C-alpha cells in the first residue's frame, strides 16, 4: 500500500468518552458509564465478546445513538460538530454492505468526499485526486473501474478503507477489519493503520482477532457492557484482564507438546484461543507474549 494522501486542513482530534450509557428503545442497557480517552497518534483495539457493546460504542461516537448519560468529545467538540467537520470516518463490517448494489469501486471511495462537496455532489479536481490517492494507498488503483460486487473480501475491505482515507477523517473507526482476510492483506492493513497513526490520527479498531492486538495496538479498551479496562496495551491486554472480559467465551489450553518443541517456551505457558482461532501465548504471570505461529 503506497501513494500520498491529500490531507484536509483541521486540527488534531483527541477522543474522549466520558461516563457514556446507552439504552436502546426496547429498554436494553447496552453500555453503562463507559469512559476512556485517546490521544492523537494512537491505534487502539476495542475488544470484547459478542454483544458486549462495541458497535454501540461506535454508534455513540458516530452520533447514531444518543447516550442517556455522559458525553463523547472529538477534538474537544460535541459529536455533531465533529461530524460536520468530517473528523470521523467509519469502515463498516462486510455484513453491513449490500454487495449486489451496482456501484463501482471509484464511486464507493468518492462517497467519502460527499461531506466536502456541495448539495449537487459534483466532484471537483481535489475530490478526484483524493480518491485516486486513497485507492493508491490501499493498492486498489488497478481495480478502480470494477464493480464492488466483483471483488474479493480482502479487496472490498481495502475499498472501504480507501473511502475513509478519501474522507480525510482524524478519527477512524474500523469494525472487524481482519475478518475473512488472509495474512498478507492483514499485514498490509496493519502497516497502513500504523502509518495513519504516525500521521497523528486516532484509529479505533474493533476486533475479535486477539492474536493481532499486541502487534499493532498501542492502546486497548476492554468492554463488557461498560469499559472494564483501558490504557496502554502492555498494562491492559493481560491474561487476567482478558479472562475477565471474555469469561467462558475464550478457550484456554496448555501449550501442546509438539508446539513446545518448535518454540522457546517454558512449561506452564498457556495458549488462549480467540473466537477466530488465532492463538495467543501467555506467560504464567498473565503477560501476553504474542502469537503462537508468527512471534514465538
Site residues for ligand ATP per CB under 6 A: 24, 26, 28, 30, 48, 50-56
Give the integer Cα–Cα distance in Å for 106 and 231.
Answer: 37
Q: Which is nearer to ligand ATP, 136 or 174 (CB)?
A: 174
Give the integer Cα–Cα distance in Å for 19 and 70.
Answer: 4
Q: Which is nearer to ligand ATP, 153 or 286 (CB)?
A: 153
Q: Rg of the chain over CA atoms, in angstroms?
A: 20
Q: Which is nearer to ligand ATP, 133 or 205 (CB)?
A: 205
With contact defined as beta carbons under 8 Å apart, do 201 and 212 qualify? no
State residue 91 phi and psi, 5-degree precision.
Answer: -110, 110
Distance of closest approach, residue 57 Cβ to ligand ATP, in angstroms: 7
Distance of closest approach, residue 202 Cβ to ligand ATP, in angstroms: 19
Distance of closest approach, residue 31 Cβ to ligand ATP, in angstroms: 8
What the block records as the C-alpha cell of 223 is 468492554
Distance of closest approach, residue 255 Cβ to ligand ATP, in angstroms: 27
Distance of closest approach, residue 58 Cβ to ligand ATP, in angstroms: 8
With contact defined as beta carbons under 8 Å apart, do 185 and 158 qualify? yes
Q: Which is nearer to ligand ATP, 131 or 223 (CB)?
A: 223
The torsion angle over the Cα atoms of residues 149, 145, 175 and 271, rounded to 10 degrees, is 80
Q: Which is nearer to ligand ATP, 56 or 233 (CB)?
A: 56
Helix, strand, coil percent values for the chain (each to nearest 5):
35, 25, 40
Amino acid at each position: 500500500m503506497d501513494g500520498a494522501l491529500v490531507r484536509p486542513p483541521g486540527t488534531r482530534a483527541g477522543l474522549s468518552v466520558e461516563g457514556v450509557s446507552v439504552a436502546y428503545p426496547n429498554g436494553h442497557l447496552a453500555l453503562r458509564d463507559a469512559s476512556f480517552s485517546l490521544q492523537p497518534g494512537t491505534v487502539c483495539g476495542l475488544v470484547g465478546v459478542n454483544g458486549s457493546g462495541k458497535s454501540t460504542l461506535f454508534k455513540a461516537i458516530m452520533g447514531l445513538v444518543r447516550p442517556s448519560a455522559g458525553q463523547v468529545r472529538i477534538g474537544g467538540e460535541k459529536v455533531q460538530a465533529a461530524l460536520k467537520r468530517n473528523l470521523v470516518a467509519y469502515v463498516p463490517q462486510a455484513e453491513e454492505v449490500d454487495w449486489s448494489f451496482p456501484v463501482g469501486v471509484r464511486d464507493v471511495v468518492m462517497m467519502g468526499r460527499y461531506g466536502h462537496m456541495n448539495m449537487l455532489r459534483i466532484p471537483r479536481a481535489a475530490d478526484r485526486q483524493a480518491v485516486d490517492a486513497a485507492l493508491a494507498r490501499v493498492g486498489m488503483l488497478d481495480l478502480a473501474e470494477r464493480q464492488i460486487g466483483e471483488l474479493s473480501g480482502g479487496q472490498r475491505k481495502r475499498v472501504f478503507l480507501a473511502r475513509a482515507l478519501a474522507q480525510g477523517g482524524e478519527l477512524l473507526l474500523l469494525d472487524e477489519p481482519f475478518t475473512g482476510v488472509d495474512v498478507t492483506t492483514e499485514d498490509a492493513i496493519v502497516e497502513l493503520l500504523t502509518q495513519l497513526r504516525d500521521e497523528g490520527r486516532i484509529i479505533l479498531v474493533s476486533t475479535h482477532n486477539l492474536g493481532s492486538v499486541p502487534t499493532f495496538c498501542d492502546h486497548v479498551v476492554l468492554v463488557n457492557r461498560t469499559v472494564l479496562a483501558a490504557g496502554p496495551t502492555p498494562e491492559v491486554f493481560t491474561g487476567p484482564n482478558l479472562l475477565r472480559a471474555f469469561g467462558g467465551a475464550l478457550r484456554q489450553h496448555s501449550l501442546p507438546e509438539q508446539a513446545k518443541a518448535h518454540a522457546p517456551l517454558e512449561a506452564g505457558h498457556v495458549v488462549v484461543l480467540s473466537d477466530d482461532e488465532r492463538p495467543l501465548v501467555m506467560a504464567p504471570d498473565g503477560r501476553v507474549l504474542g502469537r503462537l505461529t508468527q512471534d514465538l
